[in-house]
Amino acid sequence: MSGPDSPTLTSLQLGQHCREIGRLDEAETHFRKALAAEPALLPARLELGLVEQMREDWPAARECFETAHALDSANPKILNAIGYCWQREGKFREAIVPWRLAIKLDANYAQVWQNLALAHEHFNELAEAIECHQHAVALQPEDANAHRLLGMAQLDYGLHDAARKCNARALELAPDDPEAHWQRFFLRALEGDFPGAWADYEWRFKLPARTTPDIDFKIPRWTGQYAPENTLLLHAEQGFGDTLQMLRYLPRVAMRVGRVQLCAPRPILPLLENMPSLNEVLPHLPQTPTANFHLPLMSLPGVFGDSLETFPNETPYLKAPSGDPVLPPKQGTRPRVGLAWRGSGSQPLDRRSLPIEALAVLREAEVDWFSLQPEDGSPEGFTDLSTQLTDFGATARVMDELDLVVSVDTAAAHLAGALGRPTWLLLSFAPDWRWLWTGNTSPWYPELRIFRQEQNEDWRPLIRRVLQALQS
């Protein structure tokens, strides 16, 4: 590429301009014209990689950056770009390789340390992740995000005091960061400091990755005031389990407002029939609400300012719809136990689900096992009920016929708890906020017993403990 009037330079500049304004096809044409003239033109290779990134064609982008790396093997930024493409393809092990090479070239490359940390987190390699995050923090001591990410890894590893310090530093540097407030909510809730946690919980609507935004109905939010002449619209906003958990508040709400409307997902609606605290059930959010106030369902504990001692925990607060028995008649005295071993799979790293191969040992127990998974694929020796589990009403009817429900942290555990059924919760070492750090009981469900995974262990020792409890 020669002087300022060079056709190759002109093509490169035109391509950059087109890429910056989003005209990607034109940008690619210009960059390929430049490369046709000079195949070893590194800036054009890199720019072409950026075009493919913007298209989210990660294999094509990676190929561009790998070609660029062959032209400039000592450039850590190119290696970082290659690793990023692998990551976006969901291939984290492959991503680690160029990132490690980038660190060898530049040990002060903070972004790569952070990328490495997140890759190790993906594999639940938390000690390695923490070490990488610590490098990133040391290189960026004024970066709030670096402190927050280190704190999150420490939180998952059980280093509570260290996580709290990192979170405090992140909030000191960025007091309006919703992710730092969300992290503080988790820390407070896991420690049982619920009155202090609820204010942070309201920052959830500002999280950049949140899929359910806050809804502006042009009517005010309810703040818990007495309004006997008014109607309140409550609306579900998160997962099935969250909704089932918060339905406990309906009687308390009904004591303060004249009418209660509830918008909830269709699979939950059969449970809401004939609930005395509800005046109207809506399967969809109304465009023009008839209510005087509204409130997201998960904001109810904060409205009431509840603590561990004041949560409404009377069960059952839900009951199964009436209908014919679902299970075959009981034979002999063997207990009938239902098992839910898998969550929805919506989490990037599913720590809560059990590997199906680890369940075989449970057949040693003198019980009749029933699968509570709504999908096909029961373990050997488990009765598959997937065709009957059409909604939560149908699942509730099954649970009413069981002697015990054993579940990982998924909606089945909340449903069994809400029905007042004997329930054993199999909990990952890194628990969700509602289950607290420690303890074998729950403030939400008096009939629930918790089995906690020990640090750094797989699920097999916990399953053995469950088996021993069944046999005792």
Say what the pLDDT of residue 121 is.
92
pTM for the whole structure: 0.89
Q: Domain residues for 387?
A: 336-471
Residue 214 counted as domain residue: no
* Judgement on whether residues 183 and 273 belong to the same structural domain of the protein: no
Q: Which of 417, 381, 379 is nearest to 399 (CA)?
A: 417
Q: Same domain, yes or no, for 351 and 448?
A: yes
Q: Specify if 213 maps to a domain.
A: no
Last residue of a domain, one of 206, 240, 258: 206
Q: How many H helices and E strands in the chain?
A: 18, 10
> What is the domain-level CATH number for residue 452?
3.40.50.2000
- Tell me, yes or no, whether 141 and 270 share the same domain: no
Q: How confident is the model at residue 158 (pLDDT cuts 50, 70, 90)?
A: confident
Check which CATH number belongs to the domain holding 149 and give it: 1.25.40.10
Report, as an integer, the average pLDDT of 423-439.
94
- Same domain assignment for residues 23 and 152: yes
318 falls within a domain: no
Q: Are 164 and 189 in contact (CB under 8 A)?
A: no
Answer yes or no: is 222 within a domain. no
The three-point CA angle 362-365-371 to 5° equals 50
Q: Most distant CA pair in the chain: distance in Å?
A: 92
Tell me whether residue 415 is in a domain: yes
The answer to whether the CB of 268 falls within 8 A of the CB of 202 is no
**At 324, which helix (H) or strand (E)?**
none
Give the CA dihedral 42, 48, 49, 52, nearest 10 degrees: 180
**Is pLDDT of 3 > 60?**
no
Q: Are residues 183 and 232 in the same domain?
A: no
419 with 463, same domain: the answer is yes
Q: Is residue 381 pLDDT above 90, yes or no?
A: no
Task: Report the Cα–Cα distance between both ends of the chain, in Å, rounded.
Answer: 80
Written as one string, the DSSP assignment of 289-318 is ---SEEEEGGGHHHHHT--TTTS---S---
Domain end among 287, 304, 321: 304
* pLDDT-derived band at 1, boundaries 50, 70, 90: low
363 plus 466 within the same structural domain? yes
State whether 340 and 255 are in the same domain. no
The rounded mean pLDDT for the chain is 92
Give a yes or no: residue 312 inside a domain: no
Q: How many Cβ atoms from other residues are within 10 Å of residue 375's Cβ?
A: 11
Q: Please determine, for residue 344, whether its predicted confidence score (pLDDT) is greater than 90.
A: no
Looking at the fold, whether 31 and 79 belong to one and the same domain comes out as: yes
pLDDT in tens, 49-76: 999 999 999 999 999 999 999 999 999 9
**5 vs 303, higher pLDDT:** 303
Does residue 151 share a domain with residue 48? yes
Residue 331 in any domain: the answer is no
The per-residue DSSP string of 115-129 comes to: HHHHHHHHTT-HHHH
Check pLDDT > 80 for residue 349.
no
Query: Using one digit for the tens of pLDDT, what is the confidence trace for 107-140?
Result: 999 999 999 999 999 988 999 999 999 999 999 9
User: Are residues 129 and 52 located together in one domain of the fold?
Assistant: yes
**What are all long-range contacts of 74-81, with beta carbons under 8 Å and residues at least 24 apart?**
74/105, 75/105, 76/101, 76/102, 76/103, 76/105, 76/106, 76/109, 76/112, 77/102, 78/46, 79/105, 79/112, 80/109, 80/111, 80/112, 80/115, 81/46, 81/49
The span from the CA of 66 to the CA of 81, in Å, is 9
Cis check: omega of the bond before 220, within 30 degrees of 0: no
For residue 323, being part of any structural domain is answered with: no
Radius of gyration of the chain (CA): 27
Q: Residue 203 pLDDT > 80, yes or no?
A: yes
Domain count, the chain: 3
User: Do residues 95 and 192 both lie within one domain?
Assistant: yes
Q: How much is the pLDDT for 152?
A: 95
